[in-house]
Chain A
Amino acid sequence: MTDWHASDARLRAWVAGEIGSIEAASIEQHLSGCGRCQAVVADVDDVGGRDEVWLAIRDRIEPQPLNLVGRILARFGMTPGNALLVSSVPSLSGAWLLGVGFSLVFAVVAANVAGPRGVAVFLLLAPLAPLIGVAFAFGAEIDPLYELTLSTPYSKFRLLLWRSCLVITTTIPLAMLAAIPLDSPWWVAAAWLLPATAFCAVTLAATKWVEPQITALAISVAWILAHAVAAWRGDPLAAFSAAAMIAYAVVGIAAATVFLGRGPAETFHGRLL
């Protein structure tokens, strides 16, 4: 705060757009923190529509009930605002869970009908469920609170971690439940957990450079291609061999190290993705 203020004449010129860019920049910096000059601008700038905009805002701020997940988080001691932010994750909507459940049921049915090849279908789809969930946990086009999240000094890292945990903890039990009626070796229900975890970790780690949707798409395509090749060679479960499992573990740990290494230091204004 300073005692200095822009003169009314210069403020008027700024509102009219009749000053140079340097002076405009200076006035703009000053205005964001000066109540007196803000009031002058409010008097000078008489564009219509201010009341209409307010009415539209009022219509949109009707009380927003927390969804089920948000209420559970709030019950466990999260503040209502945090609970809203975390539980607004787009991939936790009812439609999403329904879709995951549906495709897994489909996979189980296929597995029962088609025997070993069906098991491969289940193992193909199951790891993709949490992956896609994480991919759509955060993003400009899909997150209703995206701008708010970006411009608020709050740990983006923590938000991403929270949302991912939420998505993973809802999709993985779904997939495990779906595997119960599966007529197959006991390890099938668990075998896909390792690649699923590795994929999620890679997607999170890569948020440093690319949007998670892109990473998830690339991984999904590679995963499906690998399965197709394996099936074509006559060994549909090649992606679950011991060597492959070790590879998932190594990749997963490496990616988790990269992601966690970013750490809570990135808690400030600016971009997450």
Chain B
Amino acid sequence: MGHADDPRDDRALVTAVAEGDSGALRVLYLRHSPWLSVRLRGRCNDRDLVNDVLQDTFVAVWRGADRFREDGSVGAWLWGIGIRRLISRLRRRSPVTMPLRDLDQGKEPAAEDTVLLGVEYGDMGAALASLSPELRAVMQATVLDGLTAKEAAQLLGIPVGTVKTRAMRARVQLRDSLAEGAL
């Protein structure tokens, strides 16, 4: 396939796509569709639907590559398009089952988890772990996935008002546990 050999970085590829280079889109697709696919399947465990979403996402990239800003991360941009595409596809069909990733499966965080969290979030990871599952799901959708309250509500299948109150409660709890950690 040779996609790993392509010397261009993601931004150069997006620029090339904007100039109509479908080969560059192919490379972007090969690099990013695997992790996007797995991450989307973590939000909706329906392989066919996720494949449709991937298709829509890269078609949207093709049409709008020149709208990408140089200072952003290509991966985050792709995720932003993909998750919104997923939500709008989910909205059209109901009822939906929305398995978020399993709760922590009753384990204490392993040493490796703590290292991961330390790298990506610092104390935030431990604080997040202390939240109840429903509060954490809301924080994940709004903060980590970058969704608005309305979009998160559609993804999680709960009312917007509930998303907002849970987000507020989660913030209070996070602030408290971070303050405790600082003592």
Contact = CB atoms under 8 A, between A and B. Distances in A.
Q: Label chain A's interface by main secondary structure.
A: helix
A23 B30 contact: no
Interface residues of B, number: 77
Q: Label chain B's interface by main secondary structure.
A: helix
Interface in A139-191: 140, 145-148, 150-154
Nearest to A42: B34
A158 to B, nearest CB: 12
A38 B144 contact: no
A152 B64 contact: yes
B125 A147 contact: no
Contact of B59 (A21, A30, A39, A61): A61
B62 A61 contact: yes
A64 interface: yes
B104 to A, nearest CB: 4
Nearest to B137: A21
Contact of B39 (A28, A148, A154): A28
Interface size class of A (residues with CB under 8 A): 35 or more
Contact of B34 (A10, A45, A153): A45
Nearest to A5: B119
A145 B148 CA distance: 19
B77 A27 contact: no
Interface in B28-87: 29-35, 37-39, 41-42, 47, 51, 54-69, 72-73, 75-81, 84-85
Contact of B38 (A6, A15, A146): A15
Interface of B: 4, 10, 18, 20, 22, 25-26, 29-35, 37-39, 41-42, 47, 51, 54-69, 72-73, 75-81, 84-85, 88, 91, 100-105, 107, 109, 112-113, 116-117, 119-121, 125, 128-129, 133, 136-137, 140, 144, 146, 148, 150-151
Closest 7 CB pairs of A and B: A32-B75, A151-B80, A81-B66, A20-B104, A42-B34, A148-B60, A148-B64
